[in-house]
Amino acid sequence: MPEQAAGTGHRAAPVHTHPDDVALLTALSALADPVRIQLVRELAAQPDWTLSCSNFDVPVGRAAKSHHFTVLRGAGLVEQRDQGPKRLNRLRREEFDARFPGLLELTLRADDLE
């Protein structure tokens, strides 16, 4: 099969939560972690669907990184799509900003003293 959608995947699709279904406390808790803040920032610095999980430069192992992505998905911050063995990521900018106006911008702002 040539380029047939590349999506025959028998793999379990990642579970997503739309920002509209996310509680404020969940969103704040998701962002109240230095590793996850860094993930969101690196994600924002590259085009959508260009970064796979292993491309992020955070000081934790694969297992912890996978856990953090689960949390970010659950908070409506990240969308993931499988492509081959990789899991590509996208920051849900507009949808999240519609639910929590300003919060993402705040997170992405390069503040000193962090």
Which of the listed partners (DNA, a copy of itself, none) does 5 bind, with a CB threshold of 5 to 8 Å by partner kind?
none
44 binds a copy of itself (CB under 8 A): no
CB 99 within 8 A of CB 76: yes
Q: How many whole angstroms separate alpha carbon 70 and alpha carbon 64?
A: 10
Sheet arrangement for strand 78-83: 51-52, 86-91, 78-83
Which of the listed partners (a copy of itself, DNA, none) does 68 bind, with a CB threshold of 5 to 8 Å by partner kind?
DNA
Q: How many whole angstroms separate alpha carbon 10 and alpha carbon 8?
A: 6
Closest to a copy of itself by CB, 61 or 101: 101
Which of the listed partners (DNA, a copy of itself, none) does 95 bind, with a CB threshold of 5 to 8 Å by partner kind?
none
Q: Minimal distance in Å, beta carbon 72 to a copy of itself?
A: 14
Residue 3 dihedral angles phi and psi, to the nearest 5° = -110, 35
- From the list 24, 45, 60, 98, which residue makes contact with a copy of itself (rule: CB under 8 A)? 24
Closest to DNA by CB, 59 or 101: 59
DSSP codes joined into one string, 7-19 = ----SPPPP---G
Which of the listed partners (DNA, a copy of itself, none) does 47 bind, with a CB threshold of 5 to 8 Å by partner kind?
none
